[in-house]
Amino acid sequence: MKVETRLVQIGVGRDKTTGAISYPVYQSTAYRHPALGESTGYDYTRTANPTRDVLEQAIASLEGGDDGFACASGMAAIQTVMGIFSQGDHLVVSLDLYGGTYRLFEQVLTRFGLSFDYVDLRDPVLVREAIRRETKAILVETPTNPLMQVTDLAAMAEIAWEFDLLLIVDNTFLSPYYQRPLELGADIVIHSATKYLGGHNDVIAGLIVTKGGELSERMRFLHNSIGAVLGPQDCWLLIRGMKTLALRMERHQQNAYNVARFLKNHPAVTEVFYTGLPEHEGHQVQSRQASGFGGMVSFRIRQPVMVAAFLQELQLISFAESLGGVESLCTYPATQTHADIPVEVREKVGVCDRLLRLSIGIEHTDDLIADLQQALDKALQTGGGRG
Ligand SMILES: *Cc1c(COP(=O)(O)O)cnc(C)c1O
């Protein structure tokens, strides 16, 4: 069955006792055993829960993996995956990384003896140079947040295979609707399901999908042992959101393309980063490895002084730090998502104080463009013209 159909049908026909179309929330921590040595398949909800099972099987199927794991947040998913590694292990990681992941790695996991090299994964030569004897994995975000840099996943899979490394991909930005890294050779996919999969800015959740029996076994052990699992109510909310993923992604993308084109032509904007623009440096690679470009658009405003005015003037688009929901949001990475990255690291990557990130929602394109137009026009006045 096609992805669209599988999304809509998540959980349908699964509740044999009632036939409920919307799979119920099994709000129970424990399960009564039929007899000594017997189980219904459920013992304790940290280990397994019927509502969570529906979600986990759905994401495994959508990503083309063997097993799925629902976690309390995207960060909980990443922490759970990191449980694979041991003291002394080294990972090669995207340079332009989600700020929270960078913080977990540098401020928490380095204390446990893991080490990380942040590399521009667009260049396979740099990736090979960064690999050492202790290297155990490559962790990729593509496209990256917020600069929309595209990494060639098949090229990374080849290097991972050659050096016997795990390839881990954070697929939050495109969702399985547009990109399925496991089909390109990745071993593990991670999602902040808080974003597109949930899609309504109302649930914090993370998902992991593994490929291969042994890896899936290890992840099942870690998921249960670490215990950062997603509660049944939030599993239900996520299932509910995922049913419309296909429709939402198409609209996000259409709007994002229109907004990117508009921004390119506004005098208050100096650069636009959207992988769907043919002139974007990652457009070719992304066209090859994904079926779409998603709804994230970043841009540089002409002068730092214009940032405050622009954010102040936005009426429809909310100044808020998330992405992937039906409502359009605007983020200022320098002080929000990337605040915990040292300023010199941030600037080196290109997350400067003129960079703004838009999560384009599913409102009408004309309304989004009108809002951006008026806010940019006013910002231009604040900035003293074209300066
Ligand atoms: C938001 C995000 C995370 C963290 O997820 P939470 O659900 O906020 O914990 C990880 N990776 C990326 C790419 C994200 O956008």
Work out the pLDDT band at 382, boundaries 50, 70, 90.
confident
Q: Any idea what the CATH number is for the domain that residue 367 is in?
A: 3.90.1150.10
Work out the pLDDT band at 385, boundaries 50, 70, 90.
low
Model confidence pLDDT, tens digit, residues 266-304: 999 999 999 999 999 999 999 999 999 999 999 999 999
Task: Verify that 141 and 256 share a domain, yes or no.
Answer: no
Q: Is the pLDDT of residue 387 over 50?
A: no
Work out the pLDDT band at 233, boundaries 50, 70, 90.
very high
Q: What percent of the chain has pLDDT over 90?
A: 92
Task: Verify that 265 and 233 share a domain, yes or no.
Answer: no
Q: What percent of the chain has pLDDT over 70?
A: 99
| Pairwise pLDDT comparison (98 vs 135), residue with the higher score | 135
How far does the centroid of ligand 1 lie from the alpha carbon of residue 101, in Å?
8
The answer to whether the CB of 77 falls within 8 A of the CB of 208 is yes
Q: Is the pLDDT of residue 170 over 50?
A: yes
Task: Verify that 203 and 257 share a domain, yes or no.
Answer: no
Q: What's the pLDDT score for residue 26?
A: 98
The residues, any chain, with a CB within 8 Å of residue 344's CB and separated by 6 or more, are none
Whether residue 386 is contained in a domain is answered as no
Mean pLDDT estimate for the chain: 96
Average pLDDT of the residues in 129-134: 98
Tell me which of 242, 262, 293 is where a domain ends: 242
Q: What's the pLDDT score for residue 9?
A: 98
Task: Verify that 127 and 180 share a domain, yes or no.
Answer: yes
Is residue 170 part of the annotated active site? The answer reads yes
* Per-residue DSSP letter, 90: E
The domain tally of the chain equals: 2
Q: What residue type is 98 in one-letter code?
A: Y
Catalytic position from the list 67, 96, 152, 170? 170
How far does the centroid of ligand 1 lie from the alpha carbon of residue 78, in Å?
9
Task: Verify that 300 and 253 share a domain, yes or no.
Answer: yes
Q: Is the pLDDT of residue 336 over 90?
A: no
Task: Verify that 138 and 226 share a domain, yes or no.
Answer: yes
Q: Which ligand 1 atom sits nearest the alpha carbon of residue 78? A: 10
Domain that holds residue 220: 3-242
Whether residue 387 is contained in a domain is answered as no
Catalytic position from the list 6, 15, 42, 46? 46
Task: Verify that 72 and 197 share a domain, yes or no.
Answer: yes
Average pLDDT of the residues in 27-34: 97
Tell me which of 179, 208, 242 is where a domain ends: 242
Average pLDDT of the residues in 211-220: 98
Catalytic position from the list 180, 195, 251, 354? 195
Q: Which ligand 1 atom sits nearest the alpha carbon of residue 76? A: 9
Whether residue 268 is contained in a domain is answered as yes
The answer to whether the Cα torsion of 162, 100, 358, 249 is positive or negative is positive
Task: Verify that 286 and 175 share a domain, yes or no.
Answer: no
Average pLDDT of the residues in 253-265: 98
The residues, any chain, with a CB within 8 Å of residue 272's CB and separated by 6 or more, are 260, 263, 264, 297, 298, 299
Q: Which ligand 1 atom sits nearest the alpha carbon of residue 193? A: 7
Q: Any idea what the CATH number is for the domain that residue 210 is in?
A: 3.40.640.10
Model confidence pLDDT, tens digit, residues 173-185: 999 999 999 999 9
Q: What's the pLDDT score for residue 232?
A: 98
Q: What's the pLDDT score for residue 384?
A: 60
Q: Is the pLDDT of residue 386 over 70?
A: no
Task: Verify that 354 and 290 share a domain, yes or no.
Answer: yes
Whether residue 304 is contained in a domain is answered as yes
How far does the centroid of ligand 1 lie from the alpha carbon of residue 386, in Å?
36
Model confidence pLDDT, tens digit, residues 33-65: 999 999 999 999 999 999 999 999 999 999 999
Which tokens sit at 62? 């959508």
Q: Is the pLDDT of residue 163 over 60?
A: yes
End-to-end CA distance of the chain: 55
How far does the centroid of ligand 1 lie from the alpha carbon of residue 147, in Å?
15
Task: Verify that 170 and 66 share a domain, yes or no.
Answer: yes
Query: Cα separation of 382 and 368, whole Å?
Result: 21
Is residue 111 part of the annotated active site? The answer reads no
Catalytic position from the list 23, 26, 98, 196? 98
Task: Verify that 137 and 219 share a domain, yes or no.
Answer: yes
The residues, any chain, with a CB within 8 Å of residue 171's CB and separated by 6 or more, are 63, 179, 180, 181, 189, 190, 191
Using CA positions, which residue lies closest to atom 6 of ligand 1? 74
Which tokens sit at 258? 């229109």
Q: Is the pLDDT of residue 350 over 90?
A: no
Is residue 187 part of the annotated active site? The answer reads no
Q: What's the pLDDT score for residue 340?
A: 79
pTM of the shown model:
0.96
Tell me which of 242, 277, 312 is where a domain ends: 242
Ligand 1 pocket list (CB less than 6 A): 73-75, 98, 100-101, 141, 145, 170, 172, 192, 194-195, 204, 206
